[in-house]
Amino acid sequence: DYRYFCLGTHYRNPLMFSIGAMESARNARKKLFDRVLLLKGSKHEKSHNTGKKYLKQFTSEINDDLNTSKCLAVMWDVLKSDLSDHVKYLLISEFDKVLGFNLGSLKKVEVPASVKKLAEERLEARNSKDWKKSDKLRDKIVKLGYSVADTKDGYEISKL
């Protein structure tokens, strides 16, 4: 989280530390890691677009006085692009050689059945508008080291 926070500011500028800024960095880093995990298992597909423009842009930004904040922006542009998942993963892996998040070592965490069961109970409580029970179940999930986020399709569990 701290690495992401530092990379988001040019090294010549002072860091403006706050708890909110660290939370934002943590959220962005977690989102990055989640996206990379989704891309990691992608199959190689033939694609005419190899993403050379993004690699050129990243190289240009890092060579422009180590502008890491713009490098992060290029990385997010890649993730939002219409490139194939395999090409996205290859590009992000190249960028990571400079940024140092060690994305290649990420592994998908298997959520225990007990946590999944609590999340299902919580979803039922939410659907029946039992907010008190829902909050208690969320607290139990957090104590077990996981977070649960509500989505349009139900919920998403992730390791804290």
* Angle of the 113-127 helix axis to the 131-143 helix axis, nearest 10: 160
Closest by CA position to 55, among listed 84, 102, 7, 87: 87
Residue-wise pLDDT tens digits, 127-141: 999 999 999 999 999
Say what the pTM is. Answer: 0.72
Q: What is the pLDDT of residue 143?
A: 94
Q: What is the pLDDT of residue 109?
A: 75
Residue 12 CA to residue 147 CA, distance in Å, equals: 36
Which ranges constitute the DSSP H helices of the chain? 2-7, 19-40, 52-63, 68-80, 85-99, 113-127, 131-143
What's the chain's average pLDDT?
91
Q: What is the pLDDT of residue 56?
A: 97
Closest by CA position to 123, among listed 146, 84, 157: 157
Q: Is the pLDDT of residue 45 over 80?
A: no
- Look at the block and give the residue holding tokens 């139900």: 154
Residue type, 62: I
Residue-wise pLDDT tens digits, 79-118: 999 999 999 999 999 999 999 999 998 887 788 999 999 9
Helix (H, G, I), strand (E, B) or coil at 19: helix
Residue-wise pLDDT tens digits, 63-86: 999 999 999 999 999 999 999 999
